[in-house]
Amino acid sequence: MSEMIQAPRRGGVEALGDLTSRGPARKRRAIIERAIQAVLFACAAISILTTFGIVATLLGETIQFLRQVSIVEFLTGTRWTPLFASKHFGVLPLVNGTIAVAFVAMVVALPVGILTAIFLSEYAPTRFRSVLKPILEVLAGIPTVVYGYFALLFITPILREIFPQTGIFNVASAGIVMGFMILPMMASISEDALRAVPSGLREGAYALGATKYQTVTRVVVPGALSGILAAVILSISRAIGETMIVAIAAGLQPKMGFNLLQSMETMTAYIVQVSLGDTPQDTIEFQTIFAVGTLLFLMTFVMNVVSDWLVRRFREAYE
């Protein structure tokens, strides 16, 4: 505490000398102040430049790409073979694979995440909660390449025991593991939403004779629905953008259909596949990763904006 009081005094006394003196010293101080402010603004402006950079890079290469491939073929074609002799540029197989993996991830993360949120917010004793939460957060901090290893070498062999037709690379194991990766985010945003429901509503339900189960499922959860929806959308967005798990465990075969025990390629895995190869730059093969990246960016961007809007709505609703 004493340190904190001392610090401003030291700074202040020197400052007094600077600012009360007239003439050049004061002018110099003002120039320095303005320069510092400009530098700090430049730091903040880098975030804007980053966005510009992303949009410009993606659009620039995508426009080059679309000069050679019609946008209709790109968005509606069902064959994706840019690296083969007979080239087809229909992105739908990659979108199909992305959705399939995200679907499996949500089958895991949605129920487990919401139930976890309900437990942490409504049932868990404070002490238990303060131990459990950091442990669950660890799941979010594990590098995705570790999850990829776990999916390929732990989950897949188990799946192959149960379903012998399972491929070495398959959508299911990548999706299951991804579900656990996004679980902490799903649970944490949902929990915030549940906690934001005023306790008066719970007490009202109890006063009407509702059990705890009835209060939770018919009052608290419906009251937190917009926040839970935000958590779901953000989780899907995270699942769509996740790269290493699918690149390791889901395989590199662009395919239509919904056989979750077989290999499929996602948009992100395709970007990794091309980056690892020695595709020459300034060719159409190379431009495809930017076109796919643009689509990925747009999909996640829209989802993030929608979920942000929903979060703000539930915060406003109870203030």
Residue list 161-220, contact with another protein (CB under 8 A): 180, 183-184, 187, 205, 208-214, 216-219
Decide: is 48 part of the binding site for another protein (CB under 8 A): yes
Q: Which two tokens stand for residue 221?
A: 């959860």
Among residues 106, 112, 317, 103, which one has the least CA distance to residue 225? Answer: 317
Q: Which stretch binds another protein (CB under 8 A): 75-83, 86-94, 116-124, 254-262?
A: 116-124
Q: Which stretch binds another protein (CB under 8 A): 68-76, 82-90, 94-102, 234-242?
A: 234-242
Decide: is 54 part of the binding site for another protein (CB under 8 A): yes
**How far apart are CB 47 and another protein at their closest, in Å?**
5
**How far apart are CB 40 and another protein at their closest, in Å?**
4
Q: How many residues bind another protein (CB under 8 A)?
A: 108
Environment class of residue 11 by beta-carbon count within 10 Å: exposed (0-12), middle (13-18) or buried (19+)?
Answer: exposed
Decide: is 103 part of the binding site for another protein (CB under 8 A): no
C-alpha 172/C-alpha 105 separation (Å) is 9
C-alpha 245/C-alpha 145 separation (Å) is 6
C-alpha 46/C-alpha 35 separation (Å) is 17
C-alpha 270/C-alpha 265 separation (Å) is 7
Q: Which of 69, 91, 102, 152 binds another protein (CB under 8 A)?
A: 152
Decide: is 101 part of the binding site for another protein (CB under 8 A): no
Cβ nearer to another protein, comparing 186 with 196:
186
C-alpha 15/C-alpha 8 separation (Å) is 10
Decide: is 259 part of the binding site for another protein (CB under 8 A): no
Decide: is 293 part of the binding site for another protein (CB under 8 A): yes
Cβ nearer to another protein, comparing 282 with 319:
282
What stretch of H or E contains 100? helix 92-118
Q: Which stretch binds another protein (CB under 8 A): 67-75, 81-89, 91-99, 120-128?
A: 120-128
**How far apart are CB 44 and another protein at their closest, in Å?**
4
Cβ nearer to another protein, comparing 66 with 136:
136
Q: Which stretch binds another protein (CB under 8 A): 28-36, 71-79, 96-104, 257-265?
A: 28-36
Decide: is 241 part of the binding site for another protein (CB under 8 A): yes
Decide: is 268 part of the binding site for another protein (CB under 8 A): yes
For 37-86, give the secondary structure using H, E and C.
HHHHHHHHHHHHHHHHHHHHHHHHHHHHHHHHCCHHHHHHCCCECCCCCC
Q: Which of 25, 27, 28, 33 binds another protein (CB under 8 A)?
A: 33
Residue with tokens 């203030």: 319
Q: Which stretch binds another protein (CB under 8 A): 71-79, 80-88, 192-200, 292-300?
A: 292-300
Residues in Cβ contact with 288 at an 8 Å cutoff, skipping those fewer than 6 apart: 65, 82, 89, 270, 274
Considering only residues 55 through 84, tell me which ones interact with another protein, judged by CB under 8 A: 56-58, 60-61
For 197-233, give the secondary structure using H, E and C.
CCHHHHHHHHHCCCCHHHHHHHHHHHHCHHHHHHHHH
Among residues 311, 111, 107, which one has the least CA distance to residue 196? Answer: 311
Q: Which of 248, 250, 260, 264 binds another protein (CB under 8 A)?
A: 248
